Amino acid sequence: MSAPIRILIADDHPLFRGGLRALLESVSDTNVAGEATSGHEAVELARTLAPDVVVMDINMPDLNGIEATRQIVHENSDVHVLVMTMHEDDESVFAALRAGARGYQLKGAAQTETLRAIRAVANGDEAKAAAASDRLMDYVENFTRATVTNRF
């Protein structure tokens, strides 16, 4: 059996952190390495704890989750970030992915979907909420169509 996935939870809401911690402690293949309540704290704890996955909120005090993700990924490519937020707008999705997040999950997702996303990101795969994936595909298709049309 392999070692549990070491996870840093980065969210400024105690209720969400507690609920996610309880979920992660209820399964044998995950371990909560730490909790951060601000973007700067997330960057520092990712540096010192070197977790496998950081579950990152976008709206964080003092340093938003997008910039914290960018710094974490830049400092250690072995740390994978799963952005978990209430925002499902295109701008937030694309900003998180451009910053280096390996996944994007909505906080309203089912527990099984959240665990699946964390496991996928830990394995180096991508995990995106279905609605975000659909919009991303629409964006790529429209961009490709516009590029082809403009060539002729």
* 143 band by pLDDT with thresholds 50, 70 and 90: very low
User: What's the structural domain count of the chain?
Assistant: 1
Which pLDDT value is given to residue 91? Answer: 86
Percent of all residues in the chain with a pLDDT value above 90, rounded to a whole number: 71
- Give residue 15's domain range: 5-151
pLDDT over 70 at 149, yes or no: no
For residue 13, give the CATH number of its domain: 3.40.50.2300
Which pLDDT value is given to residue 150? Answer: 56
Which pLDDT value is given to residue 2? Answer: 83
Mean pLDDT of the chain: 87
The model's pLDDT over 13-24, given as tens digits with 9 standing for 90+, comes to 999 999 999 999
The model's pLDDT over 120-138, given as tens digits with 9 standing for 90+, comes to 999 988 876 544 445 554 5
Place of tokens 């997330």: 42
| Amino acid identity for residue 136 in this structure | L
Range with the poorest average pLDDT among 18-27, 77-86, 138-147: 138-147
